[in-house]
Amino acid sequence: MSPILAIAIKDLRTFTRQRASLFFTFVWPLVVAVLFGVLFGGSDRPTPRLPIVVADEDGTPASKAFVDRLVVRDTFEAVRASREEALEAVRKGQRIAAVILRPGFGEASSRMFYGAPPEVELVTDPSRQAERGMLEGLLMQQGAERMQSLFTNPAGSRQSVQQALGERKKAPSGGSPGLETFLGQLDTFLGTPDSQQVVPGGSTAAGATWEPLRITRSDLQRERTGPRNGYEVTFPQAMLWAVFGCVMAFGTTFASERVRGTLVRLHVAPLSRGAVLLGKSLAAFFAILIVESLLITLGVVGFGLRPSSWGLLAVAIACTAAAFVGIILLLASMAHTEQGIGGMAPAVMMPLYLLGGAMIPLMFMPPWLAGLGYLSPVRWAIIALEGAVWRDFGLAEMVVPCAILLMVAVITFVIGARRQEAD
């Protein structure tokens, strides 16, 4: 076995026997990837249904119809209960919210374009405030569907319109003549055959199937113009955190060889100082390759990652590893003790990680700060890794980030090696 390879294997062996290093190069990045993947909506599985409880205190056909529609919605997992039972279920944390239809709901529903609207009381679990806004939105959506029914059931709606028109006419003078005119014309329209013609579900003309807003769902991941799920964003970032762990672990081995005197023994052996550096760099390179490959494998097997190009991913990983091996060598040449490396490496690396977008998403940064990110090799590593995972980069698009990473590798390696040589 060549001495260079022997040094590399020795370093990898000692690396695998340091539990703290292993934790920070593999376990911690994985935890970060999974945690943030979940927070960013990581899974491509269906959104879980919101568990709610519904109490109908009105008991009119209109309120019953509202509850029926609520129960069958696929966004809710709703159960019916009395007001007391509903509040108890929320208090015990069994349901995240109680939707209570107050008395008068049905009567208010029959009024068109005037008077107080139907009232729904929403009682939420204080610990589930995050879902409250979503719930309110969904209830407003269901309320708007009342307008849709105006056209999908012309006969029933005409009755409501006529009732509203009658009430407006009985009202004291000073009402709204414009509203009465509108209701009259609407009544006339609902009585015509045109309003009955269109088959529900059709889409070619106005009439029975009119909708206030149609939302067309477009699944980005299936068109591969975006990440399939949050994990495809968080795993490349986690891979960079794994690299950070390697920087710390292997940067420290240079210092510990020096402090413990083993570097003396390596330098007395019949091999050049360049060979010693090469062997130690090779160990760091292999370690980065291994942890990145392991994380990607776990991402594919357990979290639905589907890299768009395995070949380009391998290139991105190799270029990232090369760049950071150079950085390790440079950092190791700047500090002579383990404590020195332990203090300096985070101080240097953290800003690079911050600017590179590995700590907080670039979208949260002011533009000038996000622009500075291009000075960080972390940014280019993330671009390269994301390019191969979900950005659908071709070879031409991968050239720039990879070339920059290799340039970083060469510059830092040469400077680091010269500084070590002169030491």
Partner 1 sequence: MLVLTHIVKRYGTRVAVNDLSIEVRPGEILGLLGPNGAGKSTTMHVATGLLRPDAGSVSIGTHGPPSSPMARRRLGFAPQSLAVYDLLSAEENLAFFGQLYGLSGASLQARVDASLAFVGLGDRRRDRVGTYSGGMKRRLNIAAAVLHEPELVLLDEPTVGVDPQSRNAIFDSIETLKAQGRTLVYSTHYMEEAVRLCDRVAIIDAGKVLALDTVPALIRAHAGVPVLHVRVAGRDVVSETRDPLAELNRLSAEAPVESFHVEAPTLEQVFLSLTGRTLRD
Residues that bind partner 1 (CB under 8 A): 1, 3, 6-7, 10, 13-14, 17-18, 260-262, 264-271
Q: Which of 422, 420, 255, 417 is CA-nearest to residue 336?
A: 255
The Cα 215–Cα 258 span in angstroms is 65
Which residue lies nearer to partner 1 by CB, 1 or 215?
1
Q: What's CA 36's distance to the chain center, in Å?
A: 7
Which residue lies nearer to partner 1 by CB, 169 or 265?
265
Q: How far apart are the first and last CA of the chain?
A: 28
Which residue lies nearer to partner 1 by CB, 11 or 292?
11
Which residue lies nearer to partner 1 by CB, 47 or 337?
337
Burial classification of residue 98, based on how many CB atoms lie within 10 Å of its CB (0-12 exposed, 13-18 middle, 19 or more buried): buried
Task: Give the nearest distance from C-beta 242 to partner 1 in angstroms.
Answer: 21
Angle (CA) 105-110-115 rounded to 5° is 80
Which residue lies nearer to partner 1 by CB, 323 or 341?
341
Task: Give the nearest distance from C-beta 12 to partner 1 in angstroms.
Answer: 11
Contacts of 98 (CB under 8 A, 6+ apart): 52, 53, 54, 55, 81, 83, 86, 87, 89, 90, 121, 122, 123, 124
Task: Give the nearest distance from C-beta 255 to partner 1 in angstroms.
Answer: 14
Task: Give the nearest distance from C-beta 294 to partner 1 in angstroms.
Answer: 21
The Cα 174–Cα 177 span in angstroms is 8
Task: Give the nearest distance from C-beta 345 to partner 1 in angstroms.
Answer: 20
Task: Give the nearest distance from C-beta 264 to partner 1 in angstroms.
Answer: 5
Which residue lies nearer to partner 1 by CB, 234 or 253?
253
Which residue lies nearer to partner 1 by CB, 78 or 282?
282
Count each helix (H run) and each strand (E run) in the chain, helices first.
19, 4
Q: Does residue 142 contact residue 71 with C-beta atoms inside 8 Å?
A: no
Task: Give the nearest distance from C-beta 7 to partner 1 in angstroms.
Answer: 8
Task: Give the nearest distance from C-beta 328 to partner 1 in angstroms.
Answer: 19
Which residue lies nearer to partner 1 by CB, 157 or 253?
253
The Cα 4–Cα 287 span in angstroms is 15
The Cα 202–Cα 208 span in angstroms is 9
In one-letter notation, the amino acid at residue 161 is V
